[in-house]
Amino acid sequence: MSYVTNTLSNLIHQTAFFNLTWGNYLMIAVACVFLYLAIKHGFEPLLLVPIAFGMLLVNIYPDIMLSIEDSSNGVGGLLHYFYLMDEWSILPSLIFLGVGAVPVRPFVRFPCSQYRRSEFPPSVVRVWTILLPFHAPRSSG
């Protein structure tokens, strides 16, 4: 039983709860406001929810941004590894693949009845629209 209490005590002491400043409290309050606006009112939830969770993680658990060189055991924080994946262009590729796997659904109804049941926008259904850029005026440079 002492092992469990010792482990939980170490976990609590590794968080920033004992060393929070007024700036940390302010940022946690802003993160809670962002979560409230995103979830309750629907103000840009795809943008505000990740920002708010990032703010909460960084202010509650500061070692999440620790680099490998600064750590005592040679293991960096989670956000450091996300930074490395972005630096090595792994993360943008994964995001691109994930977005490409999402099916295209139109958000507006098309005026013609033949395009209402299509999952693709009119520019894909009407193949001849590929020729529209050729009608643009060319500069006589």
Say what the pTM is.
0.51
Per-residue tens of pLDDT for the chain, all 141 residues: 889 999 888 888 776 677 788 898 999 999 999 999 999 998 888 889 999 998 998 888 777 888 888 877 888 888 888 888 888 888 888 777 766 655 555 555 545 555 455 555 555 556 666 666 555 555 554
- Alpha carbons 102 and 5: distance in angstroms, whole number: 46
φ/ψ (deg, to 5) at 29? -65, -40
